[in-house]
């Protein structure tokens, strides 16, 4: 398995992975326009045949802050450490970019806590709320857990 930055040719497979989970209400759906626009944020995990096993994205915000988002691993590839490697790839990229803190919103806080994320206050990420959360159907009743990690 290798992890690399996403390419334009990966868009359809990434959308398929994300939207399967989005249909379950576990993440925001993505369309080709959005994914193309934010393609540089994404990385993918590939098997030996070049099939995408998972993806994640690192979005940079103001105030020395970034978000790990759109993390998904194909159901048949779970429990193999792929999700952890995708998050670690994002954390390394954030550190290289000089970002000091990385957050996530998740339904599986235990996964992120094993990587060193801790509970935090979502009110500290106003830019995220106004850019992304506002279009979520759960905006007024968000049940995702906010976690943050200091990577300085």
Strand 42-46 versus strand 2-5 pairing type? antiparallel
pLDDT number for residue 130: 46
pLDDT digits (tens, 9 = 90+) for 15-46: 999 999 988 878 878 889 989 999 999 999 99
Structure-block tokens of residue 99:
């970002």
CA-CA-CA-CA dihedral for 45, 94, 96, 30, to nearest 10: 50
CATH number of the domain residue 14 falls in: 3.40.630.30
Q: Whole-model pTM?
A: 0.88
- Specify the number of domains making up the chain: 1
- Domain of 117, in residue numbers: 2-150
Number of H helices and E strands in the chain, helices first, is 5, 7
């Amino acid at each position: 398995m290798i992890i690399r930055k996403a390419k334009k040719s990966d868009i359809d497979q990434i959308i398929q992975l994300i939207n399967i989970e989005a249909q379950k209400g576990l993440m925001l759906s993505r369309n080709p326009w959005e994914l193309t626009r934010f393609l540089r944020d994404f990385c993918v995990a590939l098997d030996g045949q070049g099939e995408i096993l998972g993806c994640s994205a690192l979005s940079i915000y103001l105030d020395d802050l970034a978000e790990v988002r759109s993390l998904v691993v194909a159901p048949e590839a779970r429990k193999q450490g792929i999700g952890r490697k995708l998050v670690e790839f994002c954390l390394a990229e954030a550190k290289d970019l000089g970002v000091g803190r990385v957050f996530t919103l998740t339904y599986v806080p235990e996964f992120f806590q094993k990587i060193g994320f801790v509970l935090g206050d979502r009110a500290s990420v106003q830019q995220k709320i106004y850019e992304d959360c506002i279009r979520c159907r759960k905006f007024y009743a968000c049940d995702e857990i906010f976690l943050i990690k200091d990577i300085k």
